[in-house]
Amino acid sequence: MSKLFEWSRRLCREAELAAPPLVRQAVMPRVHNARVLAHFLVKPYLTVYQWQGQGQGGSLTVNYAGFGDAKPYLKDILFVDKPAECEIGRVPIRRINELADWSTGDITIIEADEPLIARLPSQKALVLPAFIKMVLDTQGDWEEIDNRFHKSIRSERRLIRKYGYQFKVSHSDQDFEMFHRDMYLPTMDIRHGELAVSMSKHEVYQYFRRGLLFLLERDGKYVSGSIGYVDQDVVRFILVGVMNGDQQLMKEGVVGALNYLRLQWVNQSGYKSVDFGWYRPFMKSMFLNKRKWGTTVDLPSSQKGRLWIKLQRHTPAVSQFIQEAPCIVIDKQHRLYGLITVDHGAIAVKDNPGVVVSPSSLEGTDDPANLTDEAKGEWNKKYATPGLDGLLIRSVGELVGEVEKDNHRERH
């Protein structure tokens, strides 16, 4: 059955790539809905799993139910090591709201499409888009665009000059074979290890066949590359690879140089924008890396997946997780907000890399109302991004307060 769904997903992807823009916008959402319906006709329930292991702050138990796409990523950000997993039940789709009342576990996560998540209570729960995308407007004078980049981009410019990086746009099947074999797969393995979920070669080729391969050269040799395709006047880069996954090349700026030069090429080729691709809705490494290029956060139009997260108990592991994983939440009007959570002020801020505030500004940060302007300014500087309607600063107690009280009454 899994092969059937994989085949249908691949067929939909190829149809989407081949369809004219107007047809794609009108038809593809219906195709997606049809696939979801077919899935539930075959499997009209959600399997509930329980994960048990060590989080950064101590032992952690998480109940998860859903499509399964986000499982590897969620386990990675929740646990220090791979957690134990067991099936603890099945809930019919028509009774999905029952999952909101499960009292076991420290955190409950449900992954499903928007219409199903809308049936769950929003009080004391977080709703996240399954993915966000990062888009950069490349219209206008290149120097003006260049000036919008974060000052850290200076290092990319310096490394381009130092190593003499140059680029080439290729449509050669031979170059594609080299990129997939020697760049993409090794890089996925180095970056993600067991969590790597590589796109199939056939699917990657469909993008390449309708698009391009952007190759970075140094001393006459290819060192990095990226697959992209043009959708109307938007260039979408979907994959990046470094030759043999070489970490020394990464230290020498091949990925930054690739980003910089391909943006310059897009601008000079007259395209309106670059779509950097889809990312999980957590304001961590990949988000922060793309943010420095002046990107805007947006929702993928064809992506209706949601993550419903309920913090059941105020434990050290729950507190540590929600503080160290600032996320992007979505409301019923599809507005996006960055969510920053604080608890036990000094620990929360000092242990958050990249956030530098003076000791005096830490006082009272377990209550967002007591945050100093300096602390708020630092978070704005790090996380505020075009496309977000603002930053929400909440305490862990606000997010788990009612649940914690209910659990307290049950124990006594």
Domain ranges of the chain: 2-42, 45-130+303-411, 136-280+287-298
Mean confidence (pLDDT) of the chain: 82
CB 324 within 8 A of CB 352: yes
Higher pLDDT, 389 or 198: 389
Predicted confidence at residue 191, as pLDDT, reads: 73
Q: Mind giving me the DSSP string for 12-36?
A: HHHHHHHS-HHHHHHHHHHHHHHHH
Alpha carbon of 115 to those of 92, 213, 332, 369: distances in Å? 15, 38, 11, 34
Helices (H) and strands (E) in the chain, counts: 16, 16
Q: How many CB atoms lie within 10 A of CB 75?
A: 18
Instruction: Summarize the chain as % helix, strand, coil (round to 5).
Output: 45, 25, 25
How large a percentage of the chain has pLDDT more than 70? 78
Predicted confidence at residue 65, as pLDDT, reads: 94
Give the mean model confidence (pLDDT) for residues 237-259. 92
2: pLDDT confidence band, cut at 50, 70 and 90?
Answer: very low
Q: Which residues contact 301 (CB under 8 A, 6 or more apart)?
A: 25, 29
298: pLDDT confidence band, cut at 50, 70 and 90?
Answer: very high
144: pLDDT confidence band, cut at 50, 70 and 90?
Answer: very high
CB 260 within 8 A of CB 153: yes
The predicted-structure confidence for 340-382, as pLDDT tens digits, reads as follows 998 744 333 333 333 322 223 333 345 666 677 787 888 888 9
310: pLDDT confidence band, cut at 50, 70 and 90?
Answer: very high
Which range in 170-179, 269-278, 359-368 is most confidently predicted, on average pLDDT? Answer: 170-179
**CATH for 136-280+287-298?**
3.40.630.30
| Distance from C-alpha of 18 to C-alpha of 7, rounded to nearest angstrom | 17
Q: How many CB atoms lie within 10 A of CB 320?
A: 20
Q: 189 φ, ψ to 5°?
A: -65, -45
Say whether pLDDT at 90 is over 60.
yes
* First CA to last CA distance, the chain: 47
151: pLDDT confidence band, cut at 50, 70 and 90?
Answer: confident
Give the mean model confidence (pLDDT) for residues 276-286. 90
Burial label, 331 (beta-carbon count in 10 A; 0-12, 13-18, 19+)? exposed
269: pLDDT confidence band, cut at 50, 70 and 90?
Answer: very high
Give the mean model confidence (pLDDT) for residues 314-343. 93
Predicted confidence at residue 163, as pLDDT, reads: 93
The predicted-structure confidence for 16-49, as pLDDT tens digits, reads as follows 555 555 445 555 555 555 555 555 556 688 899 9
Say whether pLDDT at 411 is over 60.
no
Say whether pLDDT at 182 is over 80.
yes
